[in-house]
C-alpha cells in the first residue's frame, strides 16, 4: 500500500522517505519551473515564497491525476544570496559563475515541502539552512568542477554537500535533511500527527 506519492524524480528524496519506512510512489511533476520562477521574481516574491510556490505547483500537478484520497508531496529547493535566487546551472560555465559568486559568502538554502490531499494543500513547510563557503581562486573552482561535473549539474548552486561538495564549506547551520532537498523531520512529524506513523 502506498503511503505517499512523491511529485519528484529525485532519487535522494525518495530514498530518505523510504529509509524512514514509508512506501513511496514517484511521479515527477511536469511544470515549467523557470517560467514560474521568473514570473514570481517579476512580482518581487522572496526566495522562501518562490520555493513554497514551486513545491505547491508540483504537488497540485501530480494530485490532478492521482486518486482523490492520495497524499501527494511536492518539494522544491531554492538557493539565495541577498534575495538573489539561483537555479540549477544549465552548463559547466554557468556552474563556474555560480560558484564564483557563492565563494566566500553565506547563502541560504531553502527546502520547501507541500502536501496535497483531495486537490488542496493540507500542510506546508520551508526548511532554511545557512551555508558558508570558503574562498576560492578561479583555478580551484575549475579543478572542483572537473571532479564534480556532471553530478552537480542537477544541483542548485552546483554542489553536492553530501559528496565532494562538502569540501567547499566552512560551516553549515541547520537541518541536514533540508540540505539534501527535503525537510524530512517536519514531514515525518506531520505524518505522525495524522496517525500514519508509529514510534
For residue 120, give every residue at least 6 positions away whose Cβ sits within 8 Å of its Cβ, in sequence order, or none.
none
DSSP state of 135: P
List, in sequence order, the alpha helices (H) in 81-137.
92-102
* Beta strands at 71-81 and 4-6: parallel, antiparallel or unpaired: parallel
C-alpha distances in Å from residue 8, one per residue of 25, 26, 28, 66, 184: 10, 6, 4, 14, 14
Q: Is the peptide bond before 139 cis (omega within 30 degrees of 0)?
A: no
Alpha carbons within 13 A on the beta-carbon side of 70: 25
Exposed, middle or buried, 68 (CB in 10 Å: 0-12/13-18/19+)?
exposed
Residues marked active site are found at 76
Amino acid at each position: 500500500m502506498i503511503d505517499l506519492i512523491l511529485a519528484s524524480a529525485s532519487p535522494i528524496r525518495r530514498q530518505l522517505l523510504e529509509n524512514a519506512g514509508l512506501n513511496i510512489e514517484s511521479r515527477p511533476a511536469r511544470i515549467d519551473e523557470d517560467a514560474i520562477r521568473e514570473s514570481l521574481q517579476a512580482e518581487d516574491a522572496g526566495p522562501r515564497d518562490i520555493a513554497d510556490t514551486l513545491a505547491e505547483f508540483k504537488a497540485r500537478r501530480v494530485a490532478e491525476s492521482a486518486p482523490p484520497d492520495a497524499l501527494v508531496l511536492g518539494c522544491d529547493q531554492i538557493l539565495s544570496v541577498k534575495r538573489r535566487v539561483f537555479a540549477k546551472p544549465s552548463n559547466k560555465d554557468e556552474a563556474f559563475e555560480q560558484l564564483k559568486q557563492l565563494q566566500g559568502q553565506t547563502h541560504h538554502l531553502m527546502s520547501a515541502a507541500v502536501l496535497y490531499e483531495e486537490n488542496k494543500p493540507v500542510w506546508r513547510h520551508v526548511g532554511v539552512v545557512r551555508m558558508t563557503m570558503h574562498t576560492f581562486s578561479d583555478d580551484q573552482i575549475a579543478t572542483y568542477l572537473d571532479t564534480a561535473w556532471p553530478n552537480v549539474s542537477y544541483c542548485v548552486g552546483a554542489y553536492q554537500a553530501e559528496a565532494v561538495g562538502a569540501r567547499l564549506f566552512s560551516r553549515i547551520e541547520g537541518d541536514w535533511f533540508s540540505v539534501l532537498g527535503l525537510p524530512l523531520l517536519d514531514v515525518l512529524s506531520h505524518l505522525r500527527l495524522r496517525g500514519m506513523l508509529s514510534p
